Chains A and B, each alone.
Chain A
Amino acid sequence: MSSTSVAKPLAPSAAQGRPARRRRRWTTERVVFTSLNTTFLVALAVIMVYPLLNTLAISLNDGMDAVRGGIGIWPRVFSLRNYEIVLNMDTIYQAFIMSTLKTVVVVATNLFFTSMLAFALSRKEFIFRRPITLIFVLTLYFDAGLIPNYLLIKDLGMLNSFQAYWVPVMISAFNLIILRTYMKSIPEEITESARMDGAGDFRTWWQIIMPLCKPVLAVIGLFVAVGSWNAWLDTLLYNSGDPALTTLQYELQKLLASSMNAGANSANSAANQAAVGAGGQLTTPIALRSAITMVAAVPILLVYPFLQKHFVSGLMIGSVKG
């Protein structure tokens, strides 16, 4: 029965209607196309990974040798000294600890409060469900602006404090909608039976609904973690006055800014050639910056294998109509 000859009153779903894979012949056209396509896609993949591999190679290369240029994806004069210097810099060490701490706190508070609110908003009987949802959804579009937000943090007395990192991002409206939609899809019988057994709303949320939401919480948590780790503007705006609160992305941004200015002032970037000393050890800004870039990128690259398993499903959950 050929599927093309059958009239279908109902269009089959793409998933179910996919016919069994047929063997295709290797025609000349197919051979040519497949090899060209494969070549192109492999080249694209190389373009995607090359900049990182190059930076990795420079960071593992001797600093003085690196300024001669021409390093590809393999260090020419292997040396771990850049990392030694970077990890011995108090600022970078502080920044690494602060970035980690901040990410952990942001993920924990954001998941806790966002899911708690999502649970309330997912209950059909909840009286203020709609106005509250609307107020949160509108904040997806409305932003008072950088300086008004800064003034609020200042007036709340949170400048140069750890609170400025996690309090303003305690709830994300978009994740709220995702979670609420997911919780709505959980059969009502489950919450009903919990109530029969005498569980209150809070307990139903914490002990019944939260465990059921683990997959989506994992996805959201990973996204929140990446966002928090990658943030730099919060440090610049709110916490740049206290060196103890510095973060890796902010330190890297400062380094980038100074090298951009050096590059703009002299095309030959004399500053890039000059050796910098840190703790008596010599290296060059470019090698140092490469090492810090890697330190800032490595945690993301480490969680990436876990992320990539989940993010597509996360995107799909997010697209379910709310």
Chain B
Amino acid sequence: MKITHYFILILLCWSCSSESGDADTIATDDSPMTVTNPLLDFTVPSNFPDATYSIIQNPPTEKGFELGKKLFYDGQLASDGVVSCGFCHIQSFAFTHHTHITSHGVDGQIGTRNAQPLHNLAFMNEFTWDGAATFLDTQPIIPITAEVEMNETVSNVIAKLNADDDYPTLFAEAFGSEGVSADRMFKALSQFMVMMVSANSKYDKLERGEAVTFTDEENAGRAVFDTKCASCHAGTLQTDQSYRNNGLPVDPEFNDIGRERVTGLPSDNRKFKVPSLRNIEITFPYMHDGRLGTLEDVLDFYTDGMEDSPTLDDQFRRPDGTLGLDITPEEKVQLIAFLKTLTDNDFIEDRRFAEF
């Protein structure tokens, strides 16, 4: 009976979709394909805010998720047939890359920014370090087409998928009718990515009142965090999703202008997205260009490493005119203990997202 419900639900979802005509076919054709493609259960953790991604408009299904996963790990999305999404986004590092500071693309080309972790994407307003993608569905356009990343065209990717032995069938199974298209490819990738919810860290369990307790050090670290970090790293996801200049000195090799590249506004010069700190212990190196290798380096930077510029966030200006946050060495140790409570081992070991 449950499967019947799914079947009807899927039919309803399609009935008003833009692909008119398909609906008729599906309605009259008792295809077993739709019966075996149940909707996946996307549940917002009780300590999380509402999802920003419109699950209703692109509800993850079993087949859509599997297709998205295959695409995510498929080098065909790159010009060299090797550099897949998963090449730089490795699950055991919360979908980041460790061995490079900035990301490496096809032909050994080197990018200018550090691969961001992929988790809780269904709760983010914008994507990439500068917010150049305003929807999860459009984000993959950037790495696919960037010369220093996958250096491919969407047209070529679609042609390759069409010529593939498996993809045409997988697209039909996932979306209920024949057709490999850009829209479907991006929606399948999103179906895979929105399911990547990391909400089972010690921190989460404590927030939800499950049977865990923080050590004294973790509790002390949390208190420091709440007074000195949480104005930007706000809320359960530890980000207010704003763009800020945190005083990182400009690296002349990249001369990265940050969010100004997206908005053209000089007031956005050197501003980057405040990152979520979930799984921060395992997503090194840190900062938009990966210049800092350890959490200790990050905290030392925040107390002693800032460079002034017109767009520097005012929170980093001390009354005496110097720059930085006041965090004692003892507090740094406590903070790091707290930050490690944000590591979610269930997420990085979750077989649903694993390449093999």
- The answer to whether A and B assemble together is no
- Where the two chains meet, the residues of B that have a C-beta atom closer than 8 Å to any C-beta of A are none
- Where the two chains meet, the residues of A that have a C-beta atom closer than 8 Å to any C-beta of B are none
